[in-house]
Amino acid sequence: MASKDADPSLGYLTRKDTEVKLPRPTRVKNKTPAPIQITAEQILREARERQEAEIRPPKQKITDPTELADYRLRKRKEFEDLIRRVRWNQSVWIKYAQWEESQKDFNRARSVWERALEVDYRNHTLWLKYAEVEMKNKFINHARNVWDRAVTLLPRVDQLWYKYIHMEEMLGNVAGARQIFERWMSWMPDQQGWLSYIKFELRYNEVERARAIYERFVQCHPKVGAWIRYAKFEMKNGEIVRARNVYERAVEKLADEEDAEQLFVAFAEFEERCKETERARCIYKFALDHIPKGSAEDLYRKFVAFEKQYGDKEGIEDAIVGKRRFQYEDEFRKNPLNYDAWFDYIRLEESVGSKGRIREVYERAIANVPPAEEKRYWQRYIYLWINYALYEELDAGDMERTRDVYRECLKLIPHEKFSFAKIWLLAAQFEIRQLNLMGARQILGNAIGKAPKDKIFKKYIEIELQLGNIDRCRKLYEKYLEWAPENCYAWSKYAELERSLAETERARAIFELAITQPALDMPELLWKAYIDFEISEGEYERTRGLYERLLDRTKHLKVWISYANFEASAMEENDESSDLPQDGVEEYNHEAKKECVQRARRVFERAVNYYRTSAPELKEERAMLLEEWLKTESSFGELGDISIVQSKLPKKLKKRKQITSEDGGVTGYEEYFDYVFPEENQATNLKILEAAYKWKKQKITSDDE
């Protein structure tokens, strides 16, 4: 009974039975080198010496015809048996035929060759060997017969034709070789076959025949290389007119081919060798105009070299410009949205000065609209339009085209997503230069309606202000503030306009309206402008009221200092604006100065009290305020009292604090300055006394116990 582990796929053997048992690797205990070392060379030499001699068959000497016949019969039987086994093996047939040839039995050899060709007549090696045997043994007619049959059956094997023609030429049969060439040409072989025929005719000085073959050659192979060879053949024979005619025919037929560049270069070099520099220059220029820029690199290089050799300064510059044009065109094929390259290309064309080409390049450049409607993609592109308009206006002097450029540009920009104030302003300024004020107003009005911007409002207001249209300026400021009510600059400028017109109440009303806006971008500038306005008008009470209102909104350090400085400067204003009689001026001024000092001091005291009680953490601001107060008291002269401030000045202490990392560990210490004010010092002293008293009380209690 078979074992349970037996596997039918293994002949009912177990896996263990079928395992390959490899010998265990021997462990080398002694790894020290042997005293006598054996090299690989010694091993090979010993193997060579012990090798047994090669067994060679004995040499057989044939002494009579009977033995020769037996030998031949035996060898033929071997070859025939081998052929029966491997009939398709051509090497067996070749050895059999060559053996028969070595026995000088040519009929049998031919029979073997014919039998081999019946097996595989498409094998051109058999034909070559067969014909070579006939030629070697000087059977010329037999060889001709073999070659003729070979080229008839295999007309596309060029080697057969070459060998056949070579044999006839070696025999001096030129007419026969020509006839074979004609048979071959009827099959329209490749270029090398035609060139061999031409060389054959030239070897026998048959120039006219060679020319006729060239005509057939270029018809069979209408390639650039074939035409160039034909033209060089004519040039070599001194036929310049014929060569030029060949080149002209080639240009007519192949001007649109991919490799036309090679033809034009060869044609131009031919004219250059013939000292026809003008013809060569015309050919180069014609080629550069008709060949795609991407495939004309060699042509540009040759043209530049030609101009450097034969041209004048203008021609050389033109050639160099042409080369740079090619480089730019190549760049635009790779990336048409490279606007920096377009700018360089336009500058190049402007240096040449051809209006037609400049306009063409501008039109091609602006046709490459950025694919995405995002402003960052358009920022370089829009300058193409600007430069185009400026060129038309300043260089070309065509105002209608300039107007059209601006109009098309403004149509193209997606104003609902983004816009460019620069374009609107340039278009409006152009119309002003053309004395078309209505056109400029219309452009700026459209700009405000479609894409309002700060720059547009400012420029439009500036234009109307220069023209003296105050009502238009007011309307524009109103539009401006409707669009951007948080813009403090607009409010300030509007009020400044009214003030310049001596409309004080209107200016004050504008400022009042501005400071009541819920959101402002720079409120400090607006308040400063309003305060400066009231000071300039001499309205000190109104100014104080403004400072108080401002302090209701913010208690910033700068506001306190500005308020105090205002009160201190009011003394100078009183001094300057006093118009009392001479005898009472000094007394009045002294009283007024005292009052100003008291007011400034009250503002400083309010500020210090605020920082002490409401914002004790702002120590640095409080210290700065006291420093400013000290300077102000010093500036008052004999009316000032520095001691008031000095008693409130803080001490500046350098302290250290720990720097903690994210995980809560201490990474180091940081130095900083802290301010200790006098009242804090007193509080610290009181705490020390209280602690000492408490300690003494505890000590007395413990002693009693």
Model confidence over 241-259: pLDDT tens digits? 999 999 899 888 887 777 7
pLDDT above 90 for 476: no
- Residue 556 Rama label (left phi>0; alpha psi -120 to 50; beta): beta
List of residues 6+ apart from 533 with CB closer than 8 A: 495, 499, 507, 508, 511
Mark out the alpha helices in 537-656 (DSSP H runs): 540-553, 557-577, 582-613, 619-635, 642-646
Q: Of the ranges 508-522, 542-556, 646-660, which one carries the lowest mean pLDDT score? A: 646-660
pLDDT band at 176, cuts 50/70/90? very high
| pLDDT tens for each residue of 383-433 | 999 999 998 999 888 899 999 999 999 899 888 888 888 989 999 999 989
Do the beta carbons of residue 384 and residue 342 sit within 8 Å?
yes
pLDDT above 50 for 688: yes
pLDDT band at 574, cuts 50/70/90? very low
- Burial (Cβ within 10 Å: 0-12, 13-18, ≥19) of residue 305: exposed
Residue 561: closest CA among 637, 631, 619, 652: 631
Q: Of the ranges 200-214, 515-529, 677-691, which one carries the lowest mean pLDDT score? A: 677-691
Report DSSP state, residue 293.
G
pLDDT above 60 for 326: yes
Work out the number of other CB atoms within 10 angstroms of the CB of residue 501: 13
pLDDT for residue 184: 92
pLDDT for residue 335: 84
pLDDT band at 576, cuts 50/70/90? very low
pLDDT above 80 for 697: no
Place of tokens 């009292």: 641
Percent of the chain with pLDDT over 70: 86
- More confident call, 184 vs 549: 184
pLDDT above 90 for 55: no
- Dihedral over Cα of 685, 690, 696, 702: its sign: negative
pLDDT band at 1, cuts 50/70/90? very low
pLDDT for residue 238: 87
pLDDT above 70 for 151: yes
pLDDT band at 7, cuts 50/70/90? low
147 vs 144: CA distance, rounded Å:
5
Buried b (16+ CB within 10 A) or exposed e, 528-564: bbbbebbbeeeeeebbbebbeebbeeebebebbbbbb
Do the beta carbons of residue 502 and residue 533 sit within 8 Å?
no
